[in-house]
Structure 1
C-alpha cells in the first residue's frame, strides 16, 4: 500500500498562506536559493522544520517549466537538491525527456503573478485573496491525482476505513482519523514522503482563465533523506 496512516498527530494543520510568513517566502529568487532556472519556476521557499523540528531543510517549491505538466498529462514529477553549486534540479528522467518542451507562455503568466505580488504582497482573483499555497493537513483522496500513486482497486482496508470514517462528521472516530499524519511510501526505495500541502496553478500559470474551477492543483510531498520533492497534478 502506498499511503500509510500513522498514529502520530499532524504537526501542521491545514493552513492557507496568503503572504510571506515565518517559514515561507513566496517567489524566491536566485539570490535566495540555487536552482535550475531553465527548468524550474520558483513558487516558494519553505522551512521543513515546521513539519519536523529535527530537520532544517529549506525546500524549494517549484513548477517544472515543461509542456503538459500543468495540464495533468503526467503522473508524479520529481526534482531534487543536488549540491550547493547546482541547487535544485529536475530529476534526469524528466529533464532528459525530449518530448517535454519548455513553455514561454508559462513564464509570461508567472511574471505577471510575480509582478502582482511585488506590488500588492498578495495575489487577488475576483476581488478575493488567493492562497499562495495551502500548507499541512491531510492529502485529499478519492481524486485523480491519488490514482497516479496507488491502485485504488487493490485491497486497502486501512484506507477503506479512513474513507468510511472521514466521510461522516458524526462518526465517533472522525476527530482522531482526520488529524492523523498520512505519508506516501515509495515502495521502490522504501522511503516515506511527507505531505507538504498544495497550490493551484491558477495563481501562477493560468492567469486569464474564465473557468477557474477547471484550473489544476498540485499536491506537494517531500523526502528529506533524498532531498527530493514530488509533485502530483490534480485535474477533476
Structure 2
C-alpha cells in the first residue's frame, strides 16, 4: 500500500507522519504542495505544521494548493484522507469537513499528552479501535478549538460523525469536547491531536497512534479483497 504525505511550505510533522506510515507497514510517498499528481497513492495524510505561515488563518491558503485540488477530487471518490492538526484545519477550509478550527479559548499554545475517547470506529482510519476505547496521544496547537453552529454539531452527533472526544480535560475549548470528526462516507477524518507522535514506545507517550495508520491499511486491504 502507498500512503502519500503532503508537504506544504511550513509543514513540520510530515517527516513524522511518513515514519508512522512506514511503521504501520506501508510505503510512504512524499507529495509536494505545488504538484497536482498524487503518484498512485492509496490514501493521503495532511500533516501538522503551519502551512504558509498560517497567513490569513490556519489552512486558508493551503486549500488552494494544486495538490489539494487532486486530493479533494480523490476524497470525493472515496480515497481515505487523514488531516492531522493543521491538516484538520485544511480539510475544513477545503469544505471536506464542516466547521472550523479557531484560537484556543485560553489564547495559549497547548502542548501535552492528551487522553481521547474513540467514538466512531466506522471510518477508514479508526476500524482497529473499539468504541469508547481511551487512548493517549500528544496535542500541540494554538488554534485547535473546533467550532460549528448548533445545527451542524447536532447533525454530527446524530449521524455518528464525532470520531473522538477529549477525555480528562478539554485542552482548547472545542465544542462538545470534539477532538476529531469524519465526513458522511467515513473516508475523510480530521483530528487535532497527533497520532503520528504516538507510534513508538521509546518516544511515547504510547503507541496508540499507530492504530490510525494500521486501520487504513486494513481498510485498503479489505477493499482490494472485495474488488478482487
**Fold shared, TM-score > 0.5 on shorter chain:** no
TM-score, normalization: structure 2? 0.28
TM-score, normalization: structure 1? 0.27
Q: Which has the higher strand share?
A: 1
Q: Decide which structure has the larger Cα Rg and report it.
A: 1
